[in-house]
Each structure stands twice: as structure tokens, then as C-alpha cells.
Amino acid sequence: MKRTVLLLAVGVLFVGVVSRVADAGSGLTRVTQLVPAHLQHIVIAYTDWEAIKAAIGAPWLTSQASVDVRIAFARRLMEDHAAASAYGLTRLSVHAAAWGFDTTDLEWEAQITATGTPPTYLLKLRDGFDLETLVDRFIERGFTQTESYGAAVFSRAFDPTEDWTSTTEIAIHNTAILEDEKLLILSSSFAAVDLLLATRAGELPSFYDDASAARTVERLAEPFAAYLLLGESTCLRFSPNPLLDLIGTPVGNSALDDLRAWLDSGEPLHRYVALGVGYRVEQDHPVGTIAFAYASAEDAEHDLEPRRLLAGSGGSSHWEAPIAETYFVIENAQVDESAIILSVRPANDQPRRLFLMVLYADAPFAACR
């Protein structure tokens, strides 16, 4: 970047930061390196825009393309793919004009939510993107620049009378620019941005060093998009009610009998420490992975069959229909070390169904009791 405005802390370099960046694998791995491990009820929503653009056949697409082309991309995305995190996507027609970038300029992105923390975004801009354009917008709009842990942070109080507030997300009001990575950290809370910067600098432990989070990310196998839910309370989001008496259910009587027998048995479903739901494309079709990371292999082995039964024979409370019709069909279920892995085929070849299941907390097979 030509401007000296971002060079306030050029001498403040952290060897730990450099090594952590060098060790990063997929974008989702990089995200776990930046999320503080002490946060509670963590949900990470992740989208690999490079992978999706390549699958659609438009790896070249950036905000330099016409608005019509970019909107056509968004429509194709909704039909054949799914975005877990989608910063500014609903404002695609105006975002680049207002801020110098939009979704099509991203390699990947993530949205992080946690108890007591507003939605915070990580946006990885493409190689060759000129950050000076974004800095110009901040200066023109009266943002204040400060420095934190070697990064320039641009902040401004929210003012709904400003026309530009409707062109982007509220998180723009506190934006850290990591020039060396072409990475933005954005949140409506300065404290949230500062927390991730402190984690990047090695001042706080991250989920990158958490074995359960690492195992779950590994099982998702560099997804096109994914949700990662962390913490032993994750299972409490979901109800174990499998809706067995569904009108017109295609599930056979024997499968329902097996599930009823398990429900009546009183057998527990153990808590797990991380849940990952993601998809990728293989042979032009979306395939999904649902991964439960446990503290012990014994708990995973115990829960494999009941979770498979609940996923294969249970129902959706939201749709009042079988999971096999609304969300996915199981193709394989197994224990891999201390993790349960469900390989699934999204209903109607629509990977967004997997994410709706998470957003609606409509997954009886993910509950505990």
C-alpha cells in the first residue's frame, strides 16, 4: 500500500504472528488461529469464495465485472451452492461502488458469534486488491485511525443519517486492516476487533490449539462452506424429539421401531465438544459432512448408532417432515478416532439445506440427553 497512513506500526512485528500465518492451512484453519479460546458458545460460519467461484466456472470474477454479471453469480450461488457467511452479499449491487470491494473480491470469509460478542467478520481479500481504495473511503467518511497490536484500526460512531450506512454491514464501523495478509477484521464493537488482534499477536490462546476444534476442521476437509460450533453446551441447542409419527413418511416401520426402542431405553447421548457441518463438491454434486468431536473415543462409539438412527429415521420439527426429505440422506456413518463422521447427500442437491438445519437448531441427532 502506498499510503503511510497504514504504516503507523510498521516496526511492531511479532515473530509469533509470522509463524502462525505460515502454519495456516485452509482458510477455516486460519480462522481458528484468530478466535480466542476463552469465548463461550462459539459459532463460526465460513465460506470459501475461491472454491465456489471455481465450481461455478468464474474463478476470474471480481468487483471489476459488471453488476449484471455479479448478480448472476449471486443467483447461481443461491441455486447450486450455499454461503454460511456472506458479508454484504445482499448489497452486492452497491457495495463495490461504496467501499471499493464486494463479495467477489474475497478469497474466503468468516463470521464469528459468541456470548457477549456481536457478530465479527474476517474477510480475506484477493491477491492484487488495492487496500488504498478502502482506506480512502474511511478517510472521506471521517473514520478515526488508531493502532492495535501492529494493525491499523479505523473506527467511527454509528450515524443512521449517513447514506453509506445502508450500503454495507454495521460491522464496518470498526475495521482492522492486516496489510501483510490482506485480511480485514470487522465488528460493531472495537473490543471484539481488539480481542482478535490480541489473539493474532499471541497474547491469548486460540482455538487453533484446541484438539477438538482441529479434529473437526480436519474432518470437514477444506469445505466450500461450513458451520463450526464449539463447546460442550453445543448439544443443548438441539431437541432430541425425532418426530416419529409423520404423515406419509417414507421411513420403514422397522427403522421407526428401532428408534422407538432406543428412545424408550433411556440410553444417554453424550455431550461432544465440537460440531462441524460443511459441504464440498465431488463429481459435480454437493456432498456434506457432519462431524462430532468427542473428548473420548468410547463416547463416540457409544453414540454412533443412536445418532445414525435419529438422523436416518427422525424428522424435522420445522418442516414436520422426515430429515431425509428436508435436509439430507445418510450415505455413511462411522467413528474416526474420537469423532463421529456422517457423510450425507443434501436434499435436492441443495447444500443450503444443511445450513438451514443449523440455523433452525432442527437436528434431533445432534442433541444430548
Q: Of 206, 233, 261, which residue is a domain's last?
A: 206
Q: Render 162-227 in DSSP notation, one character per residue.
A: SGGGGGS-GGGGEEEEETTTTEEEEES-HHHHHHHHHHHTTSS-BGGG-HHHHHHHHHHTS-SEEE
Work out the angle at residue 150's Cα, subtended by the Cα atoms of residues 149 and 155, and round it to the nearest 5 degrees. Answer: 80
Q: Check whether residue 228 and residue 362 sit in a common domain.
A: yes
Nearest C-alpha neighbor of 226 from the set 106, 70, 52: 52
Model confidence over 74-100: pLDDT tens digits?
A: 999 999 999 999 999 999 999 999 999
Instruction: Report, as an integer, the average pLDDT of 106-120.
Output: 96
Q: Check whether residue 219 and residue 158 sit in a common domain.
A: no
Q: Check whether residue 82 and residue 199 sit in a common domain.
A: yes
Higher-scoring residue by pLDDT: 82, 263: 82
Give the per-residue pLDDT at 24: 38
Q: Is residue 110 in some structural domain?
A: yes
Q: Check whether residue 182 and residue 294 sit in a common domain.
A: no
Give the per-residue pLDDT at 252: 54
Q: Is the pLDDT of residue 270 over 80?
A: yes
Q: Check whether residue 219 and residue 202 sit in a common domain.
A: no
What whole-number distance in Å separates Cα of residue 116 and Cα of residue 155? 20
Model confidence over 10-35: pLDDT tens digits?
A: 333 333 433 334 333 489 999 999 99
Give the per-residue pLDDT at 333: 97
Q: Check whether residue 165 and residue 270 sit in a common domain.
A: no
What whole-number distance in Å separates Cα of residue 287 and Cα of residue 97? 36
The total number of structural domains that make up the chain: 2
Instruction: Report, as an integer, the average pLDDT of 35-57.
Output: 96
Q: Is residue 41 in some structural domain?
A: no
pLDDT-based confidence at 202, cuts 50/70/90? Answer: very high
Q: Check whether residue 226 and residue 337 sit in a common domain.
A: yes
* Average pLDDT score, the chain: 89
Give the distance between the most distant pair of CA atoms in the chain: 71
What whole-number distance in Å separates Cα of residue 269 and Cα of residue 369? 5
Q: Of 143, 175, 206, which residue is a domain's last?
A: 206
Helix, strand, or coil (residue 98):
helix
Q: Is residue 152 in some structural domain?
A: yes
Higher-scoring residue by pLDDT: 133, 250: 133
Which residues constitute the domain of residue 261?
Answer: 212-366
Give the per-residue pLDDT at 262: 66
Q: Is residue 82 in some structural domain?
A: yes
Model confidence over 127-166: pLDDT tens digits?
A: 999 999 999 999 999 999 999 999 999 999 999 999 999 9
Q: Is residue 31 in some structural domain?
A: no
Work out the angle at residue 31's Cα, subtended by the Cα atoms of residues 27 and 36, and round it to the nearest 5 degrees. Answer: 170
What whole-number distance in Å separates Cα of residue 157 and Cα of residue 257? 59
What whole-number distance in Å separates Cα of residue 179 and Cα of residue 332? 43
Q: Check whether residue 178 and residue 261 sit in a common domain.
A: no
Q: Check whether residue 101 and residue 73 sit in a common domain.
A: yes
Q: Is the pLDDT of residue 2 over 70?
A: no
Q: Check whether residue 195 and residue 224 sit in a common domain.
A: no
Q: Is residue 280 in some structural domain?
A: yes
Q: Of 182, 206, 230, which residue is a domain's last?
A: 206
Q: Check whether residue 270 and residue 301 sit in a common domain.
A: yes
Residue 52 DSSP one-character state:
H
Buried b (16+ CB within 10 A) or exposed e, 279-289: bbbeeeebbbb
Cβ atoms of 152 and 177 within 8 Å: the answer is yes
How far, CA to CA in Å, does 259 sit from each of 59, 200, 247, 313? 46, 46, 17, 7
Q: Is residue 17 in some structural domain?
A: no
Q: Is residue 20 in some structural domain?
A: no
What whole-number distance in Å separates Cα of residue 356 and Cα of residue 341? 19
Task: Quickly tell me which residue has 470487522 as its cell.
Answer: 186
Cβ atoms of 269 and 335 within 8 Å: the answer is no
What's this model's pTM, rounded to 2 decimal places? 0.90
Q: Check whether residue 195 and residue 226 sit in a common domain.
A: no
